[in-house]
A and B are shown apart, each in its own frame.
Chain A
Amino acid sequence: MLSIRDFVQTLVLLNLGGLAVFFGIMLFVAKGRRNIVLALRSLWLHKLRSFLSVLGIIVGTAAVIALMAFGEGSMQDALEDIKRQGATNVIVRSVKPPDNSTSQKRTFVVAYGLTRQDHERFLTINSVVQSVPMRIFPQEVRRLHRMVLGRVVGTTADYQKVNKIDIAKGRFLLDADNYEDEGADNYMRNVAVLGSDIAHQLFPFEDPVGQTVVLQSQHYVVVGVLADRMPTGGSGGSQAAEDFNKDVYIPLRTCWARYGSRIFVRQSGSRSAEQVELHQVTLTISDMDKVRGAGDAIRDQLEQNHAKQDWAVTVPLDRLEEAERAKNRYTLLLVLIASISLMVGGIGIMNIMLATVTERTREIGIRRALGAKRKDITLQFLLEAMVQTAGGGLLGLGLGLTAVYGIPWAYTQFTDKTLPAQIVQMSIFLALAVAVDVGILFGWYPARRASRLDPIEALRHE
């Protein structure tokens, strides 16, 4: 796919280079300038007609530029999202298996998901350079009389690196918070790092760092507050969108010690309990090329060790390819639309050029009598077609750029959502080159026909 892209790019650049050289020479040489001016004058003689006949070209080039910008915009959007999740990451999550025993579900404590052994096994895979285990569950977070429903994330210091999060105040969890020996100062400390939302809600007027929050009657010292974080997922991913700003991060070890293996969750009035050791493990792979292999290895391990399908593996890189495929499909569709509209535009040009040639038969006869060679006549009409479509291309460029900036603006005005658009430089070159090419392609036949007219008959033409 990449080679085809390169090939097309080279072709476009060569094409454009050729045209640039052509117009450059035309503009540099006095005679060429004169010819262009005369072509413009002939077109100006029939302003409306010239404009209408290049309408197809205008719409075609505008469509190419605008649609490519929107395609690229959403592609960049997806890419950005993937980058936030980490292109070299593999995300393994616990998934509650479908419940078979419907009659007794209230009394059961559902045990499922990833275990510590799973996590250790992941680390045996060579390409895994980093792993962040997590326990994630909803929880009420209290501070004096205030209470917010947040999300506890029990994890390790590496969480910060993997998710590239910014600290607004204080610090994130440290390795020492998790791995200190029994009896040491840090051992199973009750420390917490707050998401921006929760920090703001619990501590509207004071600095949270150094204060305490309460999770299930345990006091935790707030050691840091995170900066605002963009939610991930949502757009086309297999994961649901996540809001990180209501997270409370505590050391994983502390989490296990304080909550034990069972977690009680209150949801819409009913209480349920689940027994999950780890909700998610985010693994970082050494190399982009090894990500998929690592993903497969992890799947194999889990398939061997889990009787139920209580896990899921997400490889963000897959989404990149998915996004790329979507973009390619989109591009193909675009090429089709653009081809059709340029084709129609080209036929419009040809039609008008044929009419022009008939109308100016006598002029052709006069020029031939005064010494014009056939190729002079061909060039004259071809140049007229080219100047016309080049003008159409430029107008189309203007229209396209207006659309690229105008449509997202209007969209935001009316819907409060953003429409990502990113102008692709290549599309501008492509659109202009193709517009002029259409002029050459469809102007060729009328121009040639003009040059083949018999001078005497042409002179006699009324």
Chain B
Amino acid sequence: MAAVAKVIDLVKNYYLEAVVVRALRGVTLTVNQGDFVALMGPSGSGKSTLLNLLGCLDRPTSGQYFLGDQDVSEMDDDHLSEIRSRYLGFVFQSYNLLPQYTVVENIEVPLVYQGGRLDESTRAHCIRMAELVGLGERLDHRPMQLSGGQQQRVAIARALVNSPHVILADEPTGNLDSKTSDEIMVLLTRLNQQGKTIIMVTHENDIAAWARRVVHMRDGHIESEQKNPPRPLPELKGSLAVAIGDWPELKRL
């Protein structure tokens, strides 16, 4: 299988006034097309730091990072922004929707920064994304009017809208109850089944169990790695279940 993201001997140091925090101390990892990777480990082990580097939000102190066949470790800020807008999708713990925007408008944001035109067809595409996550009825709602699970579904729709190569999720269920967490995890699993590459940070075993690969980190190192067998998806109820049930065989999401 083709490697989508590949980091080699990645080091990240934070230089504070008196001390140097060595957040990553040489991480080598290959994520293949269609992988569903969970990064696990105790707090402070460098999970978020690694995810941010994979997400091109930061640059490593040393080491290399290939996204597809591009070396992104040396790219400048504008170039990294470009990479984020074309190839990456983000899902955050605290949803991070823009409160002044409606559901569709939030989903549209990544397209705004792609530099292309915004017209009826892009708007229709955004609406389709909202429908995929079961929010077709709530296009004009504001984030404040939605539950946490619904907000996270908007965030996932937003992460899908630019057909990214990789979806990066930092504790996507961290703010949700277990039932809603299951919904989100089913959604992510279904996306993975459609061929989406997902890298997710979590410190919960339950959540990590959804992933195919679990990478354990400690003190800025990768300690070990395990593979999970595929598991049956639980029955869902509500709008999301209907939406997912209707999913066609998605070729290009």
Same complex: yes
Please report A residues at the B interface, Cβ cutoff 8 Å.
30-31, 34, 41-42, 45, 362-363, 365-376, 455-456, 459
Residues on B with beta carbons closer than 8 Å to the beta carbon of A370? 84-85, 90, 109-110, 113, 158
Q: Is the interface of A mostly helix, strand, loop or mixed?
A: helix
Report which of A41, A362, A374, A376 forms a contact with B96, defined as CB distance below 8 A: A362
Residues on A with beta carbons closer than 8 Å to the beta carbon of B86? 371
Tell whether, in the assembled complex, residue B118 and residue A363 are in contact, meaning their CB atoms are under 8 Å apart.
Answer: no
Q: How distant is A47 from chain B, measured CB to nearest CB, in Å?
A: 13
Contacts A42-B100, A45-B100, A362-B96 given; does A369 touch B57 at CB 8 Å: yes
Residues on A with beta carbons closer than 8 Å to the beta carbon of B113? 367, 370-373, 376
Tell whether, in the assembled complex, residue B117 and residue A31 are in contact, meaning their CB atoms are under 8 Å apart.
Answer: yes
In the docked arrangement, what's the CA distance between A42 and B105, Å? 14
Residues on B with beta carbons closer than 8 Å to the beta carbon of A376? 113
List the one stretch of B35-43, B75-83, B202-210 in contact with chain A: B75-83
In the docked arrangement, what's the CA distance between A375 and B58, Å? 18
Chain B residues within 8 Å of chain A by Cβ, number:
27
Of A42, A366, A459, chain B has the most CB atoms within 10 Å of the CB of: A366
In the docked arrangement, what's the CA distance between A384 and B81, Å? 22
Q: Is B34 an interface residue (CB 8 A)?
A: no
Closest to B49 in A: A456
Q: A371-B114, A372-B81 provided; 15 other pairs, C-beta below 8 A?
A: A31-B117, A42-B100, A45-B100, A363-B98, A368-B81, A369-B55, A369-B84, A370-B84, A370-B109, A370-B110, A371-B81, A371-B82, A456-B52, A459-B57, A459-B92
In the docked arrangement, what's the CA distance between A371 and B82, Å? 6
Closest to B109 in A: A370
Of A363, A368, A369, A373, chain B has the most CB atoms within 10 Å of the CB of: A369
Residues on B with beta carbons closer than 8 Å to the beta carbon of A41? 100
Tell whether, in the assembled complex, residue A374 and residue B117 are in contact, meaning their CB atoms are under 8 Å apart.
Answer: no
- Can you list 9 A-B contacts (CB < 8 A)? A31-B112, A34-B112, A42-B100, A365-B96, A370-B84, A372-B113, A373-B77, A373-B82, A459-B96
Contacts A31-B117, A31-B118, A34-B118 given; does A369 touch B100 at CB 8 Å: no
Residues on B with beta carbons closer than 8 Å to the beta carbon of A369? 55, 57, 84, 90, 96
In the docked arrangement, what's the CA distance between A363 and B92, Å? 13
Q: Is B119 an interface residue (CB 8 A)?
A: yes
Closest to A366 in B: B96
In the docked arrangement, what's the CA distance between A459 and B84, Å? 15
In the docked arrangement, what's the CA distance between A362 and B117, Å? 26
Closest to B55 in A: A369
